[in-house]
Amino acid sequence: MFNDLFDALSYVWSWRWPVADGEVTAVDIERIGEGRNETFRVAVAYEFSLGEDGPYTGESFWQPAFFAKRRVQKTARRFHRRQQVAVRYRPADPSINRLDRSAWQKEQK
């Protein structure tokens, strides 16, 4: 239980983790809930390597608060398989990772 709490809290400071070049392996739009509680989110799966170590894999999500379906569809179109993305990883355990926030910004480099 302590390890799960530590992992969850460490994401708060993930902007300070080192960056690696990763590659998108899948993009999905997920429907969550039903009826009035229905919402949508984008799931981006990726992989990266650190020298001879890896590949490591991860999945990051984005879920808007308002106009979810339309905004999720628009965001999902910005990603494609084999697209290069920046990945932040915990130095002591690269299996704990997430997409850098730059991947979610409107302007893609």
Contacts of 90 (CB under 8 A, 6+ apart): 10, 14, 17, 96, 97
CATH topology of domain 2-104: OB fold (Dihydrolipoamide Acetyltransferase, E2P) (2.40.50)
Tracing tokens 């997920």 back to the chain, one arrives at 30
Residue whose token pair is 């084999």: 82
Measured distance CA(94)–CA(63) in Å, rounded: 24
36 backbone dihedrals φ, ψ, rounded to 5° = -70, -20
Q: How much is the pTM?
A: 0.81
Could you report the per-residue pLDDT of 36-92, keeping only the tens digit for each? 888 899 999 999 999 888 899 999 999 888 888 889 999 999 999 999 999 999 988
Per-domain residue ranges of the chain: 2-104
